[in-house]
Amino acid sequence: MASAPRFRALLDLCKRRGFLFPSAEIHGGLRGAYDYGPLGAELKRNIANEWWSYSVYQRSDVVGLDTSIITPHNVLKASGHVDEFTDALVDCLLSKERFRPDKAPKLTVVETPKDGDLDLKIPIMAPDKTIAKQWVTTIAEQLVPGAVVSRHKSDIFLHAERVVEPVEGSNAEGKIFLKRTDPNMQPITISYNGYVAPGSNSPFLTASRPFDLMFKTFLDPIDPIDRVIQTTLSHPPSSTTTVRSAVDTVLRPSMVYLRPETAQGVFINYHNVLRTMKSRPPFGIAQMGKSFRNEIRLEHAIFRTPEFEQLELEYFVPPWESSYWFGYWRQERFAWWLRYANDPARFRTRDHTSDELAHYAQGCMDIEYEFPWGWGEVEGVAHRGDYDLKQHARATGERLDFVDESPGVSESVPAGAIALETVPKMEDGWPVRYVPHVVESSCGLNRSMLAYLFDAFDEVPEETGSRIVMRLHPRLAPVKCAVIPLIPRPELMELVGLVAGSLRRERVNTVVEAQNLKIGKRYYRHDEIGTPWCVTVDFESVKDGKVTIRERDSGEQMRVRWEEVREIIRDRLNTD
């Protein structure tokens, strides 16, 4: 199935079967927001539970934390988010679309021979013919009056003489020279910074300006808008900068943010965990929860949304061991993703180049999945150094170092994995104080769900077309088992209740599928949502106490006593 149809088919299935619903749909919807239906909520919870079990329960060196979503201004000022957490923003003057220039495409120019020369046309693609007519009017009357513009259906063409590309690394800007309707006049020039509006190829853009990625709000019994009005009225007419500064000063004491990441809550609690849990590096703090970013582009359903959930692990290590642990967590996290994958080839790792790294990072690796639209990040593993702890220490005056009475190499580090000359020696003085370095694993739960849905989505050809089988890993599957009476009659329902009850006591999410449909159709309904096992109760079951277990992926069936069902499914869940 081609990329776009495959994406649409998955979204259709998600809405039809209860994985995802557009948020506030009956009120017209909310751009970029989705609600997770009964199956989606279970799938998301199962992924989170697998991550928490792996990160916390299966290790002796990691503990969990749950910190506040509402974050004080001072915390994010210290971390650098207030000053640095912005993206450049550009608007298209035609479509009004807002986008990041660093992700935008270059200009497309169509060259055709004409009278021994080249005729240059810049195509601008409008959504439809009506909008194309409106854009032609805007171009001719407002943006470049007198320029040669033509239209064919929904495509607009700017007729150009030449295009001068901007010179990288210099202040020399690019220019586009457009032909005039009066050939005796000089061409019209417009600025070209090396990119155009995505989707339309429009070069008519605003200047780049910073765009705040954080959601700001206020903890204040007085409406902040009233404070803004009062402050503005109390200042005589002056520059916008002066008024804005006065407004910021008034609002600052009550200003808070919806956290843009869960990590800062871990860093400001590092010392509390160290003290209460008697931890010593290397040790980790895991947290999962919601974060919020005022994204410029919301795209690909739940791939990029303003409200999302993170699964993050901050692992604090002695500085001399940081390179080893960075390599360790790179391997561990990639292996975790492959554990639940049907097609491991669609997962890969990619190291950041030097120009991609955050200013504080000493290294970073992305784990990516090959979505229908291309490779997309689902997790990042970063060597953050000691930047975060030192920033909060400077801002608060708190000592966030670790006092090590007996420094050396951790027992969990293999012999020879660390250069011994980097480890503190006795002559360095005791005790040794150091600020731990941090290796961070940051996974997007929403993206994880989308990746595993695509990984599981399988079209099975049939004589009359095809059907969908969602081959989710059993531990991720929203419904683990469906108990199905051959015919929903009272004489079968008693045994159905016994089988379902035994599974539910094992905390296996089980449903009773008692619709009046053929048994095959009920099997296929559960194949479509990823249910690994179906248990059928028929009239023979009432006589001999045996039921049939059907396995989703192979279609194999086995006849067992109903009391054995619980143990069989429990064992398969624990061994898969």
Class of domain 479-575: alpha beta
Distance CA 119, CA 110 (A): 8
Listed range (59-68, 476-485, 567-576) with the worst mean pLDDT? 567-576
Tokens linked to 154: 């929904």
How much is the average pLDDT of 401-429?
Answer: 83
Predicted confidence (pLDDT) at residue 467 exceeds the cutoff of 50: yes
What pLDDT score was predicted for residue 239?
67
Q: Where are the domains of the chain?
A: 3-67+260-403+434-452, 91-210, 215-257, 479-575
Predicted confidence (pLDDT) at residue 4 exceeds the cutoff of 80: no
What pLDDT score was predicted for residue 504?
96
- Chain centre distance of CA 448: 8
Superfamily of domain 3-67+260-403+434-452: Bira Bifunctional Protein; Domain 2 (3.30.930.10)
Report for 286-295, 354-363, 425-434: range of highest mean pLDDT: 286-295
Give me the chain's average pLDDT, please.
91
Predicted confidence (pLDDT) at residue 1 exceeds the cutoff of 60: no
Q: What is the pLDDT of residues 292-340, one digit of tens each?
A: 998 767 778 999 999 999 999 999 999 999 999 999 999 999 999 999 9
Same-fold call for 3-67+260-403+434-452 versus 479-575: no
Distance CA 403, CA 424 (A): 13
- Phi/psi class of residue 295: alpha, beta or left (left: φ > 0; alpha: ψ in -120 to 50)? beta
Q: What is the pLDDT of residues 135-188, one digit of tens each?
A: 999 999 999 999 999 999 999 999 999 999 998 766 778 999 999 999 899 999
Instruction: Name the strand (E) or helix (H) holding 41.
Output: helix 38-52
Q: Report whether 391 contacts 372 (CB < 8 A).
A: no
What pLDDT score was predicted for residue 170?
66
Predicted confidence (pLDDT) at residue 404 exceeds the cutoff of 90: no
Beta strand 283-292 pairing with 62-64: parallel
What pLDDT score was predicted for residue 245?
81
Q: What is the pLDDT of residues 73-132, one digit of tens each?
A: 999 999 999 888 887 889 999 998 888 888 899 999 998 887 667 789 999 999 999 999
Give which of 105, 151, 97 is closest to 124, Cα–Cα. 151
Beta strand 533-537 pairing with 481-485: parallel
Give which of 445, 545, 442 is closest to 499, Cα–Cα. 545
Is residue 361 helix, strand or coil?
coil
φ, ψ for residue 385, nearest 5 deg? 60, -150
Q: Report whether 314 contacts 266 (CB < 8 A).
A: yes
Residues 6+ apart with CB under 8 A from 570: 506, 508
Render the burial of 5-40: b for 16+ CB within 10 Å, e for the rest: eebeebbebbbebbbbebbeeeeeeeebebebbebb
Residue 551: which pLDDT band, with cuts at 50, 70 and 90? very high
How much is the average pLDDT of 533-546?
Answer: 95
Residue 238: which pLDDT band, with cuts at 50, 70 and 90? low
Is residue 217 helix, strand or coil?
strand
Q: Report whether 33 contacts 307 (CB < 8 A).
A: yes
